[in-house]
Amino acid sequence: MSAPVQHVSRPHLARRPLGRERRLAVNVTPAERVGRIAVGLAAMAAGAFLLAGASAVLALALEALLVAAGIDLVVTGATGACPLYARLGRPSVLPRSQP
């Protein structure tokens, strides 16, 4: 005979209803967002270029990390939300008031 199945409550695994997703607050200034996107695209391009000619394992790993860092910069620049800034307690950026 098999043992009865026990259901364990796991609230961290519970699905959220649609439309009730947690969104990060915008905490990156507009100028910094543009800079993040520009530097991120440059890092991705440089990493991809270097990956094409990489032969050593360490070089491959470092260049893959460069591409990953570029992707992170582009995503945080595009969304305006930086999880690291949120953890460090940087306040949200207030939208400019329209005159």
Return all residues near 47 (Cβ < 8 A) that are at least 6 apart: 63, 64, 65, 66, 67, 70
- Enumerate the domain spans of the chain: 25-88
pLDDT at position 42, please? 97
Is residue 81 within 8 A of residue 24, CB to CB? The reply is yes
pLDDT of 77-90, one tens digit each? Answer: 999 999 998 889 88
Residue ranges in 1-99 assigned as alpha helix (H):
30-52, 57-79, 83-88
Tell which residue, 12, 44, 30, has the closest CA to residue 80. Answer: 30
Is residue 8 within 8 A of residue 44, CB to CB? The reply is no
pLDDT at position 67, please? 95
Q: Which tokens in the block code for residue 11?
A: 């609230």
State whether residue 63 is helix, strand or coil: helix
pLDDT of 31-90, one tens digit each? Answer: 999 999 999 999 999 999 998 888 899 999 999 999 999 999 999 999 999 999 888 988
